[in-house]
Amino acid sequence: MLKRLTVGQKIFCSFIIVAILFGVVSLESLMALNNSSEGFTNYRDFARESNLIGQIQVNQLEGETYVKDYIITGDDKYKVKHDASIKKILQLIATAEKSFLNKERLSLIVEVRHRINLYEKSFKEVAKTQALRTTLANDVLISKGDLMEQTFEQIIDSLGKSEKQSQALYWCAKGVRHLVLGRLYTAKFIDDSDSDKIKRALEEMNKLDLVTTKLAQILKNNDREQLDKIIQARTDYVQTLMKFTTITEKRNDLISSEIDVLGPQMTQTIKQAKKSVVADQDELGPKLQARNSRAITNVYIFGLCAIILGGIAAIIIGRNITLPLKKVVEAAYRIADGNMPEGVEETDRKDELGSLAIAFNKMTTSLNVMATAMERVADSDLTVKIEPRSENDTIGKALARMVENLKDDNKKIHDTVSILSSSLSQISAASAELTASAAETASAVTETNATVEEVKQTAHLSNEKSRQVAEVARKAVRTSQQGQKASEDAASGMMNIKLQMDTIATSIVKLAEQSQHIGDIIYVVNDLADQSNILAVNASIEASKAGEEGRGFTIVAREIRNLSDQSKQSVAQIQSILADIQKATSSAVMITEEGGKAVESGANLSSQTGESILSLSTVINQSAQSSAQIAASSQEQLAGLDQVAVALGSIKQAGEQNLESSRQLEIAVKDLDIQAKSLQTMMDRYKH
């Protein structure tokens, strides 16, 4: 049955079978994906609702935190942040009311919005009381408290100028103490709203009232006027503090009865809405998972059936197509390997494969005919006649053209080889003559190079000697220059020594003059010691006249007399040392004069020595210049010889290369002659 169908019909049938099977699988998969998509859409809606509720919860908690921070600190920035959180919550609730489909969750969201409105209304009342508390604290309590402290300081400063106001100062100090404690407890009450703190503050203010009553009986004039200011400020402070307490109690009642109640209620309502979403997700999740598992199982079953049935159909139809093709392919491989077959079977089929077998057998016959002709050409038989089978027989035409070209090329190569053999004989003779000439040239260059090397060695020796003479001359010049510099340094040193000796002599003369001045000062100090001694004696006499009351002064007079005696002894020692210094100074002056004369004589001798060394340095310098010129000439001559040697080396190397090239040319000509003869023998084998 399958042999009656064409290959296209067989492939089409296979495609229809596979398409039907995969259509069934695709339909089942589409149904499964549709169910999964619906479930995932519901799950995504639940996730979106959960996310909205979570954002509402986060902003609600942030708003409560900002409310607590505002209540504690009174800073308006927390109020602004709270208002922003409430605004965002209302926006999220509006979004939830539009998107939520579950009526239960929608009612919970509406309830949250209602309680947020109540919470916001209560917070505004709390904010008003908080602002009023801040105003009272800043405008009255702090200002009046500072006024009372400053007024007490003024009263204390005024009382401190009088030594008879100790009682008033005592009561002022007590008043300041009660004022400070009252303000301290008030500040604590403002921070934590503790009723015990406000009671203590009022108690301290009452004690301050008793103190002011006591001070009113003591103070007079300006101090009494200052006290009246304190009494009035205390009255205002207490009235404001009572009002502040009432406002604080009202604020605390709002916080405890509304803020602290509505906040947890909103949190609980939001949690209920979130639990509702989680419950729906928990219910949908297993259903969706079971539905997906069932769909996957169905797809696996239908897919496996499709694969099995499609595989069976593919095997049956494929074998019906591939077996005949396999035979044709095997025959084609044999042709590719050079084994020409007789033909293939399957020519009785009515489909394209039968037509392919007939055409393949016809092609095999044509290839066998051409192979026979190619074998004759390979056996050097160019007399073969090749006739193309048709106008489109490209291989036949190419083979016929190839045989004709081989005939023409064979004749041309034969003529060329004859001419090449004659030319090679002439080239061989010329190459032999060139080789002999190159050998003679290389020998002459070698002898010339040896002579140049001998001259070069002599020039090297001469150059080395001239360099040695120049080096000795340079050393002599350096030595003479060093001697000249040393003599100049010696002369300069002598002059410096002479100047130093003159300076030393001048310094010693000045030292002698200063010693004389010191003697004069010592004389004055000695006279002062005598007068101090006399004064001490007079003081002792006056102290003895004073009796018991002048005993202390007697001791002082005795100490002054002892110090006077010690001063005279020190003056005597200094006079002795000064006399020795003056003697040594005179001796140093004489020695300095003699040293100056000796230094001057040495400076003259150093100048004469420098002039002699300068003359010797001039002569040695001229000799060094002459030696340097001789060395430079020798160096130039040696460089010229080196260049000649290098040139001769290059000529020698070129000659050797020419000789080697000539020999290689001779060998190549001989090889080429052999190849030409071999080519001529090979071309003679072809039949024309």
Name the average pLDDT for the chain.
74
More confident residue, 560 or 289: 289
pLDDT beyond 80 at 125: yes
Q: How far is the first Cα of the chain from the last one, in angstroms, to the nearest whole number? A: 60
For residue 277, the one-letter residue type is V
pLDDT beyond 80 at 171: yes
pLDDT beyond 90 at 332: no
pLDDT beyond 70 at 567: no
Extents of the domains making up the chain? 7-305, 340-379, 451-683
- Interval 617-647: pLDDT, tens: 675 566 557 656 766 666 776 676 577 567 6
Comparing CA positions, the residue from 71, 61, 75 lying closest to residue 125 is 71
Q: How far apart are CA 183 and CA 674, in angstroms?
A: 134
* Averaged pLDDT for residues 92-97: 87
**pLDDT-above-90 percentage for the chain:** 6
- Interval 494-527: pLDDT, tens: 677 667 667 766 766 676 676 666 666 666 666 6
Q: How far apart are CA 592 and CA 510, in angstroms?
A: 14
pLDDT at position 649, please? 72
Q: In the block, which residue shows the tokens 């929608």?
A: 106
Q: How far apart are CA 35 and CA 51, in angstroms?
A: 24
Q: How far apart are CA 660 and CA 441, in angstroms?
A: 13
- Interval 172-226: pLDDT, tens: 889 999 999 999 999 898 888 888 888 999 999 999 999 999 988 888 888 888 8
DSSP reduced 3-state for 687: strand
Please state which of the four CATH numbers 1.10.287.950, 1.20.1260.10, 1.10.240.10, 1.10.10.10 is assigned to the domain occupying 451-683.
1.10.287.950
pLDDT beyond 70 at 563: no
Q: In the block, which residue shows the tokens 């934590």?
A: 192
Rg (CA), the chain: 68
Q: How far apart are CA 306 and CA 357, in angstroms?
A: 35
Cβ-based neighbours of 564, under 8 Å, separated by 6 or more: 529, 530, 532, 533, 536
* Averaged pLDDT for residues 121-138: 86
Cβ-based neighbours of 271, under 8 Å, separated by 6 or more: 57
Please state which architecture CATH assigns to domain 7-305.
Up-down Bundle (1.20)
Q: What angle do CA 629, 635, 639 make, to 5 degrees?
A: 145
pLDDT at position 573, please? 73
Residue 685 backbone phi and psi in degrees, to 5: -75, -25
Q: Helices 352-378 and 394-546 sit at what angle, rounded to 10 degrees?
A: 100
For residue 63, the one-letter residue type is G
**H or E element at residue 656:** helix 551-683
